[in-house]
């Protein structure tokens, strides 16, 4: 079982604030790092799949960076909106784990108007 | 395009009862998997399959059985339900190692 840590556990920001959270994972035997957005009463939806050190991906106001040498990824949300309220999950995949993902516990984000 | 369909959405079982959670996908993906979500924990892999006729255990397989007779369907069977199996169950599929998972809508199971 590979240890994937996410911080903070929860976050409460005001509409318009920019925010970021961290995912830490084993720096050895890396294959891919996934980010998912999980709204209450819905199913997780894939945001990004990152495989290369230094990768930076962007989808609208959300972006993510990847540092495989030190074992961390950051997720950034610029100008948070109430509809960004969700739990953000990261998941690690090693080269020998086939398709299986090891998920972190998630960061719960609440954006209030 | 339905993606991944899970049934039922909610279920209450008595201890010792058995049931099957259904998962069907129309994405023609070889890989399918079952995860459970418990409070304060990350999604944990129960069983997975890399194609019809092939299944394997994940992190928490005890008390669960799976089979994969077709590419589309991957049912999860609870043989004798226990309160520890109270959880939210997700079926997920993926088209390749460099792609994100597509999840079903989940089944909330309570065992009393």
Residue A41 per-residue DSSP state:
T
Strands B10-13, B107-111: pairing kind: parallel
Contact A63, A48 (CB under 8 A): no
pLDDT digits (tens, 9 = 90+) for A22-55: 999 998 889 999 999 999 989 999 999 999 999 9
Structure tokens at A34: 């996934």
Candidates B41, B45, B99; nearest CB to A105:
B41
3-state SS, residue A84: helix
Best of B3, B50, B100 to disrupt the A interface (most A CBs within 10 Å) is: B100
User: What is the reported pLDDT for A1?
Assistant: 59
**Chain B within 8 Å of A34 (Cβ-Cβ)?**
yes
What span, in angstroms and rounded, lies between the C-alpha atoms of B16 and B55? 25
CB atoms within 10 A of CB B82: 14
Quote the minimal CA–CA distance from B77 to chain A in Å: 20
Interface check for A46 against chain B (CB to CB < 8 A): the answer is yes
> Which pLDDT tens digit goes with each residue over A79-104?
999 999 999 999 999 888 788 899 99
Split chain B (112 residues) into runs of 10 and give each run's mean pLDDT: 89 97 96 94 94 94 96 97 97 90 96 97
Residue whose token pair is 């950051």:
A74
């Amino acid at each position: 079982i590979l240890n994937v840590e996410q911080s903070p556990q929860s976050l409460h920001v005001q509409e318009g604030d920019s925010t970021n959270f961290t995912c830490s994972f084993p720096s050895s035997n890396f294959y891919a790092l996934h980010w998912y957005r999980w709204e209450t009463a819905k199913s997780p939806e894939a945001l990004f799949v990152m495989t290369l050190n230094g990768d930076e991906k962007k989808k609208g106001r959300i972006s993510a960076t990847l540092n495989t040498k030190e074992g961390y990824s950051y997720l950034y949300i610029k100008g948070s909106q109430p509809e960004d309220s969700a739990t953000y999950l990261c998941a690690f995949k090693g080269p020998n784990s086939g398709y299986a993902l090891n998920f972190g516990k998630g960061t719960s984000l609440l954006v209030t108007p | 395009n339905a993606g991944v369909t899970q049934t039922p959405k909610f279920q209450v079982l008595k201890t010792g009862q058995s049931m099957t959670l259904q998962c069907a996908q129309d994405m023609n993906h070889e890989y399918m998997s079952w995860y459970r979500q418990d409070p304060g924990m990350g999604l944990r892999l129960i069983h997975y399959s890399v194609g019809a006729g092939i299944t394997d255990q994940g992190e928490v397989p005890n008390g669960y059985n799976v089979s994969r007779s077709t590419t589309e369907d991957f049912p999860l069977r609870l043989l004798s339900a226990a309160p520890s199996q109270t959880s939210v169950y997700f079926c997920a599929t993926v088209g390749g190692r460099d792609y994100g998972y597509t999840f079903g809508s989940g089944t909330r199971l309570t065992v009393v």
